[in-house]
Amino acid sequence: MHISNSVIIVTGASAGIGRATAVSLAQRGANVVITARRQERLAALAAELEPYPGRCFLLAGDIGDTAFARELVAQTVREFGRVDVLVNNAGLGHQSALAAMPLADVQTIFNVNVLGLLAATQAAIPHMQQQGQGQIINVSSIVGQRPLPFSAMYWASKTAVNFLSRS
């Protein structure tokens, strides 16, 4: 697949791996759709990507909201006419003893790390099938293979991502 002129969604693009991925793709001429919760960080990243050949489109929101995850794909298709690659990078975790972790925190972890990823993937697949091509890249963590202390729910969510990716 050629990166230049491809339409690539990167979730969790405001920092870390997502940000570096968006920059690398833009440098290679991709049209990059960046999303994360922090509008100001996305705006700063979009400004940084301006000199590169591809277009940048930003949409701030919480990927853990499955309606937003689906709308992200729909907006991308409206803006560019297609989606070639979905990079499911957004993720979060809380370190806590399992017995002390509030269920609301567990729900948030699974909403972002699993359900948002799944909703975006389900929304992208029909477009990719219609196009006859597409790629979905799920970013996980070594913690999905080897749990660490105080990371049970993060581990469980990344294990789900790993098995979903293999299916």
**CA 6 to each of CA 12, 82, 133: distance values in angstroms, whole numbers, following the listed order:** 19, 9, 11
Measured between alpha carbons, how far is 71 from 161 in angstroms, rounded to an integer?
Answer: 21
Question: Is the residue at 1 inside a domain?
Answer: no
Tally the domains of the chain: 1
Question: What local confidence, expressed as pLDDT, does residue 141 receive?
Answer: 66
CATH classification at residue 141: 3.40.50.720
In DSSP terms, 56 is beta-bridged to 32
Q: pLDDT (tens digit, 9 = 90+) per residue, 112-157?
A: 999 999 999 999 999 999 999 999 999 986 654 666 677 788 888 9
Q: pLDDT (tens digit, 9 = 90+) per residue, 2-35?
A: 899 999 999 999 999 999 999 999 999 999 999 9
Question: What local confidence, expressed as pLDDT, does residue 88 receive?
Answer: 98
Q: Which tokens go with 33?
A: 């759709």
Measured between alpha carbons, how far is 40 from 18 in angstroms, rounded to an integer?
Answer: 15
Question: Is the residue at 64 inside a domain?
Answer: yes
Question: What local confidence, expressed as pLDDT, does residue 2 receive?
Answer: 85
Catalytic position from the list 57, 80, 154, 155: 154
Q: pLDDT (tens digit, 9 = 90+) per residue, 85-123?
A: 999 999 998 788 888 989 999 999 999 999 999 999 999
Question: What local confidence, expressed as pLDDT, does residue 124 receive?
Answer: 99
Q: Say if CB 86 and CB 120 are below 8 A apart.
A: yes
Classify each residue of 103-136 as buried b or exposed e, where b means 16 or more C-beta atoms within 10 Å of its C-beta: eeebebbbbbbbbbbbbbbebbeebbeeeeebeb
Question: Is the residue at 122 inside a domain?
Answer: yes
Question: Is the residue at 50 inside a domain?
Answer: yes
Question: What local confidence, expressed as pLDDT, does residue 94 receive?
Answer: 79
Q: Say if CB 89 and CB 18 are below 8 A apart.
A: yes
Question: What local confidence, expressed as pLDDT, does residue 93 receive?
Answer: 85
Q: Is 154 a catalytic residue?
A: yes
Residue 62: which domain range?
7-166
Question: Is the residue at 13 inside a domain?
Answer: yes
Measured between alpha carbons, how far is 155 from 93 in angstroms, rounded to an integer?
Answer: 9
Q: What is the mean pLDDT of the chain?
A: 93
Judged against a pLDDT cut of 80, whether residue 49 lies above it is answered with: yes
Measured between alpha carbons, how far is 120 from 33 in angstroms, rounded to an integer?
Answer: 13
Question: What local confidence, expressed as pLDDT, does residue 57 receive?
Answer: 98
Question: Is the residue at 12 inside a domain?
Answer: yes
Closest CA to 138 of 21, 54, 3: 21
Question: Is the residue at 2 inside a domain?
Answer: no
Question: Is the residue at 113 inside a domain?
Answer: yes
The percent of residues in the chain predicted with pLDDT above 70, rounded, is 95
